Amino acid sequence: MKHSYFSTRRLLSAFSILFCLLLGSAFQVSAQTFIPPIAYEDTWPMAGSPDINLTSHTSAYSFGGVNVPGFGPVDLALAGWDDPTGTVAGASWRYLQPGNPAVVLSQGVLPYTNVRDVEVGFMDVFGSSQMLVAYYELGVGHKIDVYDFTTSGPSLLYTNVLSTSPNYGRISMDCHLTYAVALVWEEAGVIYTMVGLNSGPSIAFSGVLTLAKTGNDYAPDCAFSHTSMGGSLNVHYCYYSPSTGIMREVSYDFWTMIYMTGGTVPTLFNDFNFIGFYSDPVIANIDCPGHYDVENWAYAYTTNNQDISVRLVDYHTMASAATRVVNDGSVLACTAINSNYNYAPFPAYDPNHTPGAENIYVGWYTNTPDPGAGMQPAGYVALRMNENGLIALSPLDYLTVANNPTWATQTPVLSFSKQDDIFPFLYTVFPEYDPGFSGYQLENKYHNWPTPMFKGEEKHAFHCDDEARIEAFKKNMVATSVIKAYPNPFTNVLGLSFPASMQQSATTVVVSDMTGKVIDTYNGQVSKVNTHLTDLSKTLSPGAYIMNVSADGQTKQTIKVTKVQ
């Protein structure tokens, strides 16, 4: 039977958290004082909005100096969230004044329904700033939406269908600077991946690839690493097997995968971590330094909702990976708080790329009572340690993250942005329940790297020298996997461009209006579809339409097109 690890693990976790909140200090032997946050925090979306509910997943992504029409360079902050039922979900975008998150130039929400694991990212595709939103649509499959940033916010360009799986499997995404994206998801215990490159005029995606030797593995996550100047650009993956009790960490070269149209990725197995047998998969979150001299990585997880474990490797000081329990006092000089409820840890590397000087942040939810908050649960907390996880860095104890720790929701999930190079803050998002409004909201926090509470050393200057590889890809790949509509907007001529691999395919194109009413269906060869669409375009009234395009019986893309006068 298919593991429903959300319905059993996370729904029960919601009730467990409520139970532990009621018990409060009953688990605490000695009081732990938490260090208050020093960082700017605001709310978006705010309580009372239908876009936030009990939250089972959040994601965050940030980037600086993004060129947006009408605004010029802005700091970009993106967040995603869902809820246990998939009913209320969304992705938010914010254009911020560079270096000053208190000044919001523009913001908005992209509402989603019937989806899980909303992941956000950013790419610059030949001068077009684009927002990526990956998710699982319940009963339908895994997808990624690509939006173009405009003066009024993101505008949907197209949707890529990654799977048609009727059963939920976790999906995750990471981006590298402005030019690369990696996705990973699970279907029936098999782990799949796809990568993309900003080769222009749109993102070029690889085929859907299978990670080697997966068949009973679940809950994957991914992160980019880029070693040395002009060195390897690798995608790292972690996932758990309930049948073996092993959490695996594997990686593979991005530049090999981007050329692959299908097949199996012969990943490099970096680490096998036996954590025990659990009927529901253990969920881990992974991160890597964005640019570094060695291939370090770290992922965080908990198997008992008490111990916060970080599995990591530091090739400056270690020959192989090790596990650090960061909240039991056994390794780090921090008070033990693992007799309390601790949940959903998330790691992030800081932007100090000086060899041997990277640091790791770990954030999670705890119901440990905080004397500084009237013995209420401390809520979201974090700590900072060196890259081999043996030294807790000043300040030596835990930092509270939220300004209102007692507002942590019944399903608290904190996320750090995995982008650590081009943004002056450690961007953090987490849900809260605002009792004043009797509603749920998403908090956005911006920890300035140089502040004492989230201290980051000066960033090591780097140059991401992959321009030659991008140019080589353009010359060697005649076409991409993206099907595009052109022109868009259109008047009385409308066509589709297909990659070379689909030129001899049979295709089905279903054109619907924005209410979902089917207006036209084409079944035939790719070579003849544009003649049909041009004839159809002359009969359409001005407005927006949806084109669902499939090739050889498999859904490929959903494209929004607009007819103008």
**429: domain CATH number?**
2.120.10.70
In a domain, 393, yes or no: yes
CA 398 → CA 364, 375, 482, distances in Å? 11, 15, 46
pLDDT along the chain (565 residues), means of 10: 37 39 39 83 87 91 94 96 88 96 96 96 90 96 93 90 93 95 97 90 86 96 84 93 97 93 92 96 95 94 98 96 97 94 96 86 95 89 95 85 90 92 90 90 88 52 66 62 79 82 83 87 89 92 89 75 85
Q: Are residues 428 and 492 in the same domain?
A: no
495 shares its domain with 399: no
pLDDT of residue 555: 61
How far apart, in Å, do the first and last CA atoms of the chain sit?
Answer: 54
Residues counted in the chain: 565
Domain match, 500 and 368 both: no
pLDDT at 521: 94
Q: Is residue 478 part of a domain?
A: no
Statement to judge: residues 202 and 131 lie in one domain: yes
Q: How many Å is the Cα radius of gyration of the chain?
A: 23
Same domain? For 354 and 456 the reply is: yes
Query: Is residue 505 domain-shared with residue 537, that is, in the same domain?
Result: yes
38: in domain: yes
Pairwise CA distance, residues 120 & 76, whole Å: 12
Cβ–Cβ < 8 Å for 409, 433: yes
CATH at residue 510 = 2.60.40
Q: Residue 548: CB partners within 8 Å, gap ≥ 6? A: 509, 510, 512, 555, 557, 558
Q: Is residue 272 part of a domain?
A: yes
Q: What are 230's two structure tokens?
A: 């002009």
406: domain range? 5-468
User: Which helix (DSSP H) or strand (DSSP E) does residue 544 occupy?
Assistant: strand 543-551
* 476 falls within a domain: no
Q: Which of 442, 468, 494 delimits the end of a domain?
A: 468
Identity of the residue numbered 334: C
Q: Is residue 391 classed exposed, middle or buried when 0-12, 13-18 and 19+ CB atoms within 10 A define those classes? A: middle
User: What is the Cα–Cα distance from 436 to 391, expressed in whole angstroms?
Assistant: 41
Please count the other Cβ atoms lying within 10 Å of the Cβ belonging to residue 111. 12
Cβ atoms of 285 and 292 closer than 8 Å: no
**Residue 474 belongs to a domain:** no
CA distance 564 to 239: 47
CB-based contacts of 97-106 (< 8 A; 24+ apart in sequence)? 98/64, 98/65, 98/73, 98/74, 99/75, 99/424, 101/40, 101/42, 101/75, 101/77, 101/425, 101/444, 101/446, 102/40, 102/42, 104/42, 104/44, 105/71, 105/74, 106/71, 106/151, 106/153
Q: Do residue 21 and residue 142 come from a single domain?
A: yes
Q: In terms of domains, do 299 and 440 share one?
A: yes
What pLDDT does 451 receive?
66
- 3-class secondary-structure state, position 532: helix
The Cα 350–Cα 363 span in angstroms is 13
* 267 in the same domain as 142: yes
The DSSP secondary structure of 143-210, one letter per residue, reads EEEEEEEETTEEEEEEEEE----SS---EEEEEETTTEEEEEEEETTEEEEEEEE--SSSPEE---EE
* Residue 376 falls inside a structural domain: yes
Q: What is the pLDDT of residue 407?
A: 92
Asked if residue 358 and residue 493 are part of one domain, the reply reads no
443 and 534 assigned to the same domain:
no
Give me the pLDDT at residue 13, please. Answer: 43
The rounded distance, in Å, linking the Cα atoms of 78 and 63 is 9
